[in-house]
Amino acid sequence: MRQISAIPLRVLTLCLIALPALTAGAADTGSGTARGLPADLTAPFLVVVPRTSAEAERIAHATRPAEQFDAPEQFESNPAGAATVRVRDDADAFSLSSANMPFERELNFKVGNGLFRKLWVSSPSSTKASDGLGPLYNARSCQRCHLKDGRGHPPEGPEDSRVSMFLRLSVPAAGTEMSKIEAILLSIGAEIPRTRPDPVYGGQLQDFAVSGHAAEGRMEISYENIDVTLTDGEIVRLRNPSYRVGDLAYGPLHEDVMLSPRVAPPMIGLGLIEAIPAAAILANADPEDADGNGISGKPQIVWSFEHARPMLGRFGWKAGAPSIREQSASAFAGDIGISNPIFEAPAGDCTSRQERCVSGPHGDDDARGQEIDIEGLDLVTFYSRNLGVPARRDISDPEVLRGKETFYETGCTACHWPKFVTNRLEGQPEQSFQLIWPYTDLLLHDMGPGLADDRPEGRANGREWRTPPLWGVGLTERVNGHSNFLHDGRARSLLEAILWHGGEAEAARDRVISMPKPERDALLRFLESL
């Protein structure tokens, strides 16, 4: 294969606009009904431009897996298509707006950034536009969790902040009575393990509180070392975490409580993930492993509280949120205690057994109605939708190309699917019809007992996780000053993250353990180039 030089973004845009397309509705219907799922899992808030059937072949050509590895693929340097941003050599590498954003939309991005970084204060306050924090919370701003719009990390000592990681809480649902939402999801074939929030502490442990209130408790982590010996004799020491809650302020947790640690994921490329056609995601689903390759990814189906309908889950470690706007609204309510148009309770995640929290002063008593109003939520959503993905580095390096081939040969692409073409969208030029390289299938996969949190969420059981996108992983240390990966940050390097893979990924992991060191080093170099 001949060397392909970098192609200007405007040329990439023109190439993709020239692609004809397949009807999104028809494709969604075909993939959905084939698996007993609802015919239409598309996002109703996206204005999708109808495509022609002739486009299917051209999209299939653009997204087919690589077959030759002696040179980069066309457009590979631009993982976010025309939205790809330049690579910065500082910690702001994840904080640029989509490169193809029209100038007149930049102000919305900057105002949204201001709201994302805004420090909320407790009520009552003279700053009416900023009050409503808590009373119980995990952080005072979105940016405090998503540090530099990047990846959170577990605390590395008693003095280290816990604001970029928290514990989700739930208990098994008692009895046979089910909620209306559960009944609807079950009726469409979206089988779900039924759970409820902890009756006292709610859906997540909140380890901060405003003055006059007590924080719920403190997450405590201990580690056990596990040594893995690679074929060449190198020993990699993994750390296996255990979690408990100390200093409980409102009585004991439920005896059957399930704890799930979560670090804040990076924010880049979310709008492009949202713009991937549901049909393209469902096309990779194989819940019964019909092809016998040992990979049985299944789509997450969740209830949209905003649109009152089942939708395809895309965001969060178990794909528990269907849209950026709903994910943002949920984080405002659960992480900061800020009511909003989707989750209106002014006390956030407080339960009826936390009476002082529920009855205390809140910031929803002014003209805004909720503590953040529709306009504010829309601006934060716009900002989150348009955080750009940096360009690839070193894509022509022979070791990177060899590592890419190893990535394919090892079977990593069975879950980390390389490419998609996004929907044509009205009103969203940044995400419309782009060839993107997120390296994820956005499906749920069994990752084995080592990574299990034993806590179901939606259709995901206690061993299943959504395949996370890999774009930007090589810039994690530059942006966040650490190299912690996986849902709880236990892995301190990309190699440790690979070695924690089990379940459906066990065979791929074992190939990495047994491969010669130069081949393994090349694989890591490829990942660092993403």
β-sheet bridge partners, residue 421: 435
For residue 30, what pLDDT band results from cuts at 50, 70 and 90? Answer: very low
Domain ranges of the chain: 105-267+325-382
Separation of first and last alpha carbons in the chain: 21
> Picking from 88-102, 221-235, 357-371, 492-506, which range would have the lowest pLDDT averaged per residue?
357-371
213-227 burial, b at 16+ Cβ within 10 Å, e below that, comes to bebbbebebeeeeee
User: Has residue 365 got a pLDDT over 80?
Assistant: no
The predicted pLDDT at position 6 comes to 33
Contacts of 194 (CB under 8 A, 6+ apart): 172, 173, 178, 182
The predicted pLDDT at position 204 comes to 97
The predicted pLDDT at position 412 comes to 98
Please give the backbone phi and psi of residue 332, each rounded to the nearest 5 degrees, phi first: -55, -45
Give the chain's length. 530
Map residue 244 onto helix, strand or coil. Answer: strand
Strand residue runs (E) in 313-419: none
The predicted pLDDT at position 38 comes to 62
Average pLDDT over residues 34-52: 72
Map residue 85 onto helix, strand or coil. Answer: strand
The predicted pLDDT at position 3 comes to 31
**Contacts of the segment 315-318: beta carbons below 8 A, 24+ positions apart:** 315/270, 315/273, 315/274, 316/265, 316/466, 317/262, 317/265, 317/465, 317/466, 317/468, 317/487, 318/444, 318/457, 318/458, 318/460, 318/464, 318/465, 318/466
Contacts of 443 (CB under 8 A, 6+ apart): 281, 284, 285, 297, 298, 299, 300, 415, 466, 467
Count Cα neighbours of 409 within 13 Å in the Cβ-side half-sphere.
15
The predicted pLDDT at position 1 comes to 31
Q: Is residue 209 within 8 Å of residue 137, measured between CB atoms? A: yes
User: Has residue 17 got a pLDDT over 60?
Assistant: no
Q: pLDDT tens for residues 412-446?
A: 999 999 999 999 999 999 999 999 999 999 999 99
- Residue-averaged pLDDT of the chain: 89
Residue type present at position 254: H
- Tokens for 383? 């900002």
> Picking from 148-157, 178-187, 231-240, which range would have the lowest pLDDT averaged per residue?
178-187
User: Has residue 125 got a pLDDT over 80?
Assistant: yes
Q: Is residue 99 within 8 Å of residue 85, measured between CB atoms? A: yes
Share of residues in the chain with pLDDT > 90 (%): 78
- Tokens for 170? 């739930």
- Tokens for 420? 């998609």
| Helices 106-117 and 374-385, axial angle in degrees (round to 10) | 110
pTM: predicted TM-score of the whole model, two decimal places: 0.91
Comparing CA positions, the residue from 276, 293, 313 lying closest to residue 434 is: 276
User: Has residue 140 got a pLDDT over 80?
Assistant: yes
Share of residues in the chain with pLDDT > 70 (%): 90
The predicted pLDDT at position 27 comes to 35
Map residue 418 onto helix, strand or coil. Answer: coil
Which residue matches tokens 């952080």?
139
Report the distance separating Cα 248 and Cα 258, nearest Å.
16
The predicted pLDDT at position 10 comes to 32
> Picking from 65-69, 129-133, 257-261, which range would have the lowest pLDDT averaged per residue?
129-133
User: Has residue 54 got a pLDDT over 90?
Assistant: no
